[in-house]
Amino acid sequence: MANWSKRLVPTRLIDRRAFLGSTAAAAIAAGLSTETWAQGSKTGVDLNSWTPKYISSIAGTENYDTAAECYKVVPKDYAGRVTYWYFGPNAASPQIQHEMDAQFWDAFSKTYPNIKVTKQNLDYNEMLNKLRTAALGKAAPMVARLPILWGVEFAAKGQLKEFKPEDVGYSRDEFWPGALKSVTWKEKTYGVPTNNETMAFIWNADLFKQAGLDPESPPATWDDVVAYSKQIKEKTGKNGYGMVARVNAGNTPFRFMPQLWAFGGGALDEAEASPTYKNIFINNAGSKAALQASYDMYVRDRSVPASALTNTQNENQDPFLQGQLAMMIAHPAEYAVMLDRAKKATGDDKKAADAVVANMRYGFVPKGSARRAIVFGGSNAHIFNPDIVEGGLDLNAAKALVCMLTGPEWSTKLAWTDSNPGNVRGFKTRWMKERLDTIKFLDVTTSMLPYGVPFPVLPQSAEIMNIVVPNMLQNALTKKMSVSDAADDAAKKIKDLMSDF
Partner 1 sequence: MTGAVAGLVAPAAAPRSRENLLRRIVRHRADYLYVAPALGVMALVIGYPIYYTIHLSFFRTPPNLALDEKIFAGLENYQRILEADTFQEATWNTFVWTIYSTFFSFVLGFGAALALNRAFHGRGLLRGVLLVPYVISAVAASYVWRWLYHSDVGVIGAFATALGLSDGPINFLDNRQWVMASLIVVNVWKEFPFAMIMLMAGLQTVPEQLLSAARVDGAGPWSRFRHVTVPHLKSVILVTVLLLLVTNLNSFTIPYIMTGGGPAGASEIWITHIYQIAFGRIRFGLASAYSVILFVVMMALGYFYVRALTASEEKAAA
Among 258, 305, 408, 450, binds partner 1 (CB under 8 A): 305
Among 26, 478, 484, 495, binds partner 1 (CB under 8 A): 478
Which of these segments, 93-101, 222-230, 306-314, 423-431, binds partner 1 (CB under 8 A)?
306-314
Which of these segments, 8-16, 205-213, 305-313, 333-341, binds partner 1 (CB under 8 A)?
305-313
C-alpha torsion angle, residues 491, 309, 152, 195 (rounded to 10): -130
Among 191, 319, 408, 452, binds partner 1 (CB under 8 A): 319
Q: In angstroms, rounded to a whole number, what is the distance separating the alpha carbons of residues 248 and 251?
A: 9
- Identity of the residue, 285 or 306, whose beta carbon is nearer to partner 1 in the bound complex: 306
Which of these segments, 106-114, 241-249, 269-277, 280-288, binds partner 1 (CB under 8 A)?
241-249
Considering the rule CB under 8 A, would residue 306 count as an interface residue with partner 1?
Answer: yes
- Identity of the residue, 72 or 278, whose beta carbon is nearer to partner 1 in the bound complex: 278
Which of these segments, 61-69, 289-297, 362-370, 458-466, binds partner 1 (CB under 8 A)?
458-466
Kindly give, in sequence order, each residue whose CB lies less than 8 Å from that of residue 390, ignoring residues fewer than 6 positions away: 83, 134, 138, 139, 140, 141
* Closest by CA position to 56, among listed 90, 93, 17: 17
Are the beta carbons of 465 and 267 closer than 8 angstroms? yes
Q: How far is CA 161 from CA 120, 380, 397, in A?
A: 20, 13, 14
- Applying the rule CB under 8 A, the residues between 156 and 185 that interact with partner 1 are 156-159
Residue type, 416: W
348 beta partners: none
Among 57, 63, 118, 129, binds partner 1 (CB under 8 A): 129
Q: In angstroms, rounded to a whole number, what is the distance separating the alpha carbons of residues 472 and 489?
A: 7
Which of these segments, 54-62, 317-325, 355-363, 396-404, binds partner 1 (CB under 8 A)?
317-325
Region of 380 on the Ramachandran plot (φ > 0 left; ψ -120 to 50 alpha; else beta): beta
CA 142 from chain centre, in angstroms, equals: 25
CA-based angle 170:174:175, to the nearest 5? 110
Considering the rule CB under 8 A, would residue 151 count as an interface residue with partner 1?
Answer: no
In the complex, the smallest distance separating the C-beta of residue 380 from partner 1, rounded to whole angstroms, is 19
C-alpha torsion angle, residues 219, 336, 453, 135 (rounded to 10): 150
Q: Applying CB under 8 A, what is the total number of residues that bind partner 1?
A: 36
Considering the rule CB under 8 A, would residue 334 count as an interface residue with partner 1?
Answer: no
Among 1, 8, 38, 247, binds partner 1 (CB under 8 A): 247
Convert residues 186-205 into a mask of x (bound to partner 1 by CB under 8 A) and - (unbound): --------------------
- Identity of the residue, 244 or 436, whose beta carbon is nearer to partner 1 in the bound complex: 244
Residue 208, CB half-sphere, CA atoms under 13 Å: how many? 23
**Residues near partner 1, by CB under 8 A:** 129, 132-133, 136, 153, 156-159, 239, 246-248, 305-310, 318-319, 324, 459-460, 463, 466-467, 471, 474-475, 477-480, 500-501
